[in-house]
Amino acid sequence: LFVDQPLAEGALVEAAPGQAHHIGTVLRRGPGDPVRLFNVRDGEWAATIDSIRKDRARFAVTTQTRPPAAEPECRLVIAALKREPMDWVVEKATELGATLIQPVLTQRSVADRANATRLTGIARAAAEQCERLTVPEVAEAQPLHRVLDGWNGAKLVVAMERSRAEPPRALPVPPGSPIALLVGPEGGFTAAELDDLRRRPFVVPAALGPRILRAETAAVAGLAALQALLGD
C-alpha cells in the first residue's frame, strides 16, 4: 500500500482515503493482520493493522522489507488519448517502470486535456499491484513544443511509424542513462511536428516494427524495449 507519510520502526500511520475500504471490505483484513507499506523516500515496510473502521485505518510499522529503490529515469511523453486508452497506458507504463508520464497536446491529438489527478490514482494503484516502490508522476498535459523547449537534454526516443529508423535495441544508449519515449496521437505527428522533432539535438527516431500500432500499443512496446536497453 502506498502511504505518503514517513515510514519508520514503531511509527503509526494513517491509510490514504479509499484504502480502509479496500483493506476491510475488499480484502477482508482486520486488526493485527499484516500489510506492506511503501513510499519513494522510505522503501517498503512490514506493518500490522492497528485499527480499522469503514473509512479510516491506522497501521503500526514494524521492519523495513525493501530499501528505497533507485530507478533509471525512463519518461513517457505521449499525445493525450481518449480516457480509456489513456488510463490503460498509465497503468501499463507504471508496470513497465516509467518514472514520469507527460501527456502532450499535438496538432492531431484527439483529447485536449488529461486528468492528472485521476491518472495519478491509476498509477498509484498499478504501483501497488506490481509491487513497485515508486509511483510515477503524471504531469498536467502541455503543448508538445513547450515540453520540447524545456527538455532536460536526455535522449528522447521518438516512435516513428513508416520510417527507416532503427529499432530501440540498436540505439546507442548506455545502461542506466536517462531516457524518454515520445508517442504520437492516433492520427500521427504532422509533417511540421516531425520537422521540428528532427531538428532537436536530443531526438532519436525509432521504429517499432513494420506494422502500424495503436498509440497505446506503441507506448507499451516502446517502453518494454527501452527498459530492456536500460537493463531494468
Binding pattern for the stretch 78-117 against ligand SAM, x by CB under 6 A and - elsewhere: ----------------------------------------
Smaller CB separation from ligand SAM, 35 or 157: 157
Residue nearest to ligand SAM (CB): 184
Per rule CB under 6 A, count of chain residues that contact ligand SAM: 19
- Distance between start and end Cα atoms, the chain: 22
Task: State the Cα–Cα distance between residues 73 and 154, nearest whole angstrom.
Answer: 9
At 120, the amino acid letter reads T
Smaller CB separation from ligand SAM, 67 or 209: 209
Supply the minimum distance, in Å, between the C-beta of residue 190 and ligand SAM: 10
Smaller CB separation from ligand SAM, 23 or 181: 181
Cβ neighbours around 59 below 10 Å, total = 28
Supply the minimum distance, in Å, between the C-beta of residue 89 and ligand SAM: 11
Supply the minimum distance, in Å, between the C-beta of residue 137 and ligand SAM: 22
CB within 8 Å of 76: residues ≥ 6 apart:
89, 93, 98, 100, 101, 102, 180, 181, 183, 219, 223
Surface-to-core class of residue 189, CB atoms within 10 Å of its CB (0-12 exposed, 13-18 middle, 19+ buried): buried
Supply the minimum distance, in Å, between the C-beta of residue 18 and ligand SAM: 33
Supply the minimum distance, in Å, between the C-beta of residue 186 and ligand SAM: 5
Task: State the Cα–Cα distance between residues 223 and 72, nearest whole angstrom.
Answer: 12
**Span 133-192, contacts to ligand SAM by CB under 6 A:** 159-162, 183-184, 186-189
Smaller CB separation from ligand SAM, 35 or 81: 81
Look at residues 78, 98, 52, 100 and name the one whose alpha carbon lies nearest to residue 216: 78
Out of 149, 212, 228, 232, the residue judged to bind ligand SAM by CB under 6 A: 212
Classify residue 123 as left (phi > 0), alpha (psi -120 to 50) or beta. alpha
Binding site for ligand SAM (CB under 6 A): 159-162, 183-184, 186-189, 207-209, 211-215, 218
